[in-house]
Amino acid sequence: MEIQNSEQLVAKKCVPCEGGVEPCTLDFSNQQLANLQGWTLTDDHQRIRKQWTMGNFLAGLAFFEKVGAVAEAEAHHPDLHLVGYKNVSIEIWTHAIGGLSENDFILAAKIDQIEV
């Protein structure tokens, strides 16, 4: 895998992962995240995460509905969190390998295209 910019990631499609591949290295993940604004590694380095503050509860739900449509189209489903009625966060990882794959960065780039 090579480091890609956001446009390159958006042009790709998530590929089903059933395991058998190694998760991205910490070095690769950090370099790739430099091209995705606002996404960070979780403390265990196995997921990427981003937070937003919405105008209200319904705006958060509407955003999640749009994220859900993108996730379904990619067949790659993130963890969605709504806290304090307007604070939303998303965590992405590849469950089958217990860490990060290229799919996670593709989905993050596509989520970033959703208007907040």
Give me the residue spans of the domains in the chain.
22-112
User: Model's pTM, two decimal places?
Assistant: 0.96
Query: In the predicted model, what is the mean pLDDT of residues 74-90?
Result: 97
CA distances from 101 to 23, 30, 77 (A): 6, 13, 13
Tell which residue, 108, 114, 97, has the closest CA to residue 46. 97
pLDDT in tens, 57-69: 999 999 999 999 9
Which CATH fold topology does 22-112 show?
Gyrase A; domain 2 (3.30.1360)
pLDDT reported for residue 20: 85
